Structure 1
């Protein structure tokens, strides 16, 4: 499999000296093309920081973040902005739609900003896939929460990004609508798209191919082909896993 995003020895420290907070403590992880990964962990575990560093929204204190053949640390802010616009899609809990624009205009906005001509066949296919064919002339105020999130998914897909990052994309939706949105993300992954989603919800995570668990800025464990029950159980025992990891690390240091 081809790796779309790879983080190597990524540390992120906020503040200095006695006020320093280590958000990520040396993370190594890759996200393969055509996979749907969920990132979970307790509050303050570093999951949002991981997403922001992987997406070029934040700069690691040290380490490497590579998007396909591009090393992000070598890019200036203008280059990062262009990379995010052209090669990364985002889906947020708050939808981030422009209220004055129609559904179609919101979906096409990234292409318009990039000065690119839309591939109308792809646009039509994406709009049909997310079930918005009869809503393209509506504005966000006329949509339900689920429909608004479908617009955000379509907007992320039409640019053919290398990876789509979701930050709690179902957090504001009811369970039925959340399921529909997660199925769309699952289908996008099965279709060759790389999806990385931060979530706190074991049910949402169960739609992913893999769940990565963070605690105290470190990846503690992973779960392949997850079920909601297995995810919830792993989260419940995360503190025990952290203790085991710390003991193993201390033993390794003591054995050197």
Structure 2
């Protein structure tokens, strides 16, 4: 295990920098980010457009390589893995949920949910699959294709698909962005349940203060840097903090940033 990782952390970014462009046109999407995420926690990543949220998520999940720094996942440095090793780790230990549901239209609910297992050459346990589909409220729709489902139901399929491999971490990019308020609350409750019931770790990028209020910890990014964090905040507290991010560089963060939770 790397000396940087802290007790209880399952993912840790250490001095992570991601630079795009050359010479005079270079831009730091991430500017030396250090932070850890503990097992069994729901974490929200917030910040204005262009703050580096998506780059942060892609680097943390091993979808993109940082320019410098290290990213530890269960004690392994992702920056030292080759593409085959990264692909296997993402397939076996990481779940993904996106704003676009990314379901295959020709497959029904059960087939979409079990797709990651089939791609990994693993046999799906029918009882386990039924249990997960039932948990997301789709037991009566397991034979339906995406076109026969509402947006909220399609996102539930995506959550079940992320859960079926029993991943160590679920990375979610605006998972409620395309949903109405009531359906979004149902989806967030499912993510909260996966944290509390299965000790899953969820790292979720969101722009919605209400979605962030479901998190144990909300981390704020601005200009590629961590500038503040809040623990178990209300939606109003998150919204108020977001309005002040424009002037973050004139102030010190209100609380220490970078440790695990």
| TM-score under structure 2 length normalisation | 0.92
Report Cα offsets for 1:124-182 as digits up to 9, x if no partner: 22111100100100000000000000000000001011100000000000000000000
SS class of match (1:63): strand
Tell me the distance in 2 between the aligned counterparts of 1:242 and 1:167. Answer: 26
**Partner residue, 1:17:** 23
**Partner residue, 2:157:** 151
Q: After alignment, is 91-100 or 111-120 more displaced?
A: 111-120
Structure 1 position 122, deviation (Å): 2.3
Tell me the distance in 2 between the aligned counterparts of 1:178 and 1:206. Answer: 12
Structure 1 position 4, deviation (Å): 1.2
Give the ranges of 4+ consecutive aligned residues of structure 1 lying more than 4 Å apart after TM superposition.
Answer: none
**Partner residue, 1:215:** 222
The total of aligned residue pairs comes to 246
Tell me the distance in 2 between the aligned counterparts of 1:180 and 1:59. Answer: 33
Report the structure, 1 or 2, having the larger helix content.
1
1:114 partnered with 2:120: yes
SS class of match (2:85): helix
SS class of match (1:127): helix
Tell me the distance in 2 between the aligned counterparts of 1:49 and 1:243. Answer: 24
1:166 partnered with 2:157: no
Asked whether the 8 Å contact 2:173–2:206 carries over to 1, the reply is yes
Tell me the distance in 2 between the aligned counterparts of 1:122 and 1:8. Answer: 36
Asked whether the 8 Å contact 2:110–2:129 carries over to 1, the reply is no
Asked whether the 8 Å contact 2:105–2:145 carries over to 1, the reply is yes
* Cα-Cα RMSD: 1.1
Tell me the distance in 1 between the aligned counterparts of 2:109 and 2:130. Answer: 13
1:81 partnered with 2:81: no
- Segments of structure 1 that go 5 or more residues without pairing to the other structure are 247-256
1:1-256 equivalence runs, <5 A:
2-191=8-197, 192-245=199-252
Structure 1 position 242, deviation (Å): 2.5
Tell me the distance in 2 between the aligned counterparts of 1:122 and 1:110. Answer: 14
Structure 1 position 241, deviation (Å): 2.8
SS class of match (2:129): helix
